[in-house]
Structure 1
């Protein structure tokens, strides 16, 4: 396997500390300049502060809290749809110590990984376009870079609506560019 499983529960203080010591999948869009909500500059400041021991009081926002609350049911629906019994996991690349991902669900026996979104905007886009919203593309490719898998399932669900299942294929050219960009970004973090 190109990655190791880190024994952490997502959302607790130890997880936040581990997460701040590298680049996670949700950091990738900001590093790549594709995140409409967080700039590369802001992410760099957050990471440098974390390396300097500045405690983050990260709590997310209401939409993230709602998504986290709905995630177990979304995971159950995904398992019923695909037959993949997935569980959340923290993964760290064996090649790049800073390359990390807190995945919403992974099934090691099937080689399946899923990113779950339970937000109204992501659902509307996925249902209408039958495509992953562009601002999540880097996040998915980052997970594929960590796992080495050929594809990732994007599972969008909002209560009362039909789940949206979109398969995103590995984009080797994007991943090469992303890894170069992320490595340079991480060097900036370490330089402070």
Structure 2
């Protein structure tokens, strides 16, 4: 046997079955997920998930995410809820479309040599030589645009993570678009990408093992995570002798000044067009168009007047709303 063949077989060893999930309670399943990086965590761990930052993922993996706003499992307004409900339908429709048989994998899988890499597969494909894993997805009207050129990057990374854990060579991603069109995309194993993914996931997992928060990345997710991690208990810190942070502060002030100036210019340009349009509601240009329409009339309760007339309502119907930290800059 040649050396390359030996290395290839060692690299593609099958995954270990970490824990059986058929009768596992949801809380226990979530606890198992916190022991490693799963496929759906992969893009967030390397900073390429548009919906979750490494910092927010770190909160979850270190047991600090309790109280973070997130949809409940039975929240029918959540895409996550509909994704779970429709997963069996997507899998059955995939079989009807491709004639490939599929079955559930009732276990959390672990990479044979990298303990922090785990995976939950939607389905494994049975009896097909050229493809072994099925990932089921759904996308609404807004999300459909992300699938125009194939699976979005964060889904691609999820599948490559699954191929790395299982040692498999290819996967199909079946996505139900707007509840009425099923598309199937093939994802081939990319060993160069997987090697880089493992390197970056290991870097994130080091943050977890050392209980060190990763840097915030400027996303809304990171903002949520920072407010949750540091609720603000008073006190003052003096950074006047910290040249790096003083430079960061100076850059922040300069950027905010630039944004303010740009916003003024934007308002002037917008008003020039509005003034030229007059009563017209639409204007065409060489490179695009604008609309300037009046919204529909609406009605609202005059809450201030209502409470003046019925002050007893304020105590009866008052809602307690927790405060949040405000970031104010002064120079």
Q: Same fold (TM over 0.5)?
A: yes
Higher Rg of the two aligned structures: 2
Over 3 Å counting, the alpha-carbon distance change for 1:168 and 1:19 in structure 2 is same
Over 3 Å counting, the alpha-carbon distance change for 1:167 and 1:122 in structure 2 is farther
Aligned twin of 1:107: 125
**Residue 157 of structure 1: SS of its match in structure 2?**
strand
Once the two structures are superposed, the pairs formed by residues 77-156 of structure 1 within 5 Å of their partners are 77-89=93-105, 90-107=108-125, 109-110=127-128, 112-120=132-140, 121-126=142-147, 128-129=148-149, 131-156=150-175
**Bigger fraction of residues in strand:** 1
Q: Is the 8 A contact 1:99 1:146 kept in 2?
A: yes
Offset, 1:185: 1.4
Aligned twin of 2:262: none
Over 3 Å counting, the alpha-carbon distance change for 1:56 and 1:91 in structure 2 is farther
Count of aligned pairs between the two proteins: 187
Offset, 1:28: 0.6
Match of 1:3 among 3, 11, 15: 15
- CA distance in structure 2 between the partners assigned to 1:107 and 1:119 by the alignment: 22
- CA distance in structure 2 between the partners assigned to 1:175 and 1:31 by the alignment: 14
Aligned twin of 1:66: 82
Following superposition, which runs of at least 4 residues in structure 1 exceed 3 angstroms of deviation? Answer: 54-61, 108-111, 121-125
- CA distance in structure 2 between the partners assigned to 1:85 and 1:160 by the alignment: 22
Q: Which has the higher contact order (CA 8 A, sep 6+)?
A: 1
| RMSD over aligned Cα atoms | 2.4
Runs of 5+ consecutive residues of structure 2 not aligned to the other structure: 1-12, 212-331
- TM-score, normalised to structure 1, is 0.85
- CA distance in structure 2 between the partners assigned to 1:119 and 1:160 by the alignment: 8
Q: Is the 8 A contact 2:34 2:62 kept in 1?
A: no
- CA distance in structure 1 between the partners assigned to 2:29 and 2:86 by the alignment: 20
Aligned twin of 2:50: 36
Offset, 1:32: 1.6
Aligned twin of 2:202: 183
Once the two structures are superposed, the pairs formed by residues 152-163 of structure 1 within 5 Å of their partners are 152-158=171-177, 161-163=180-182
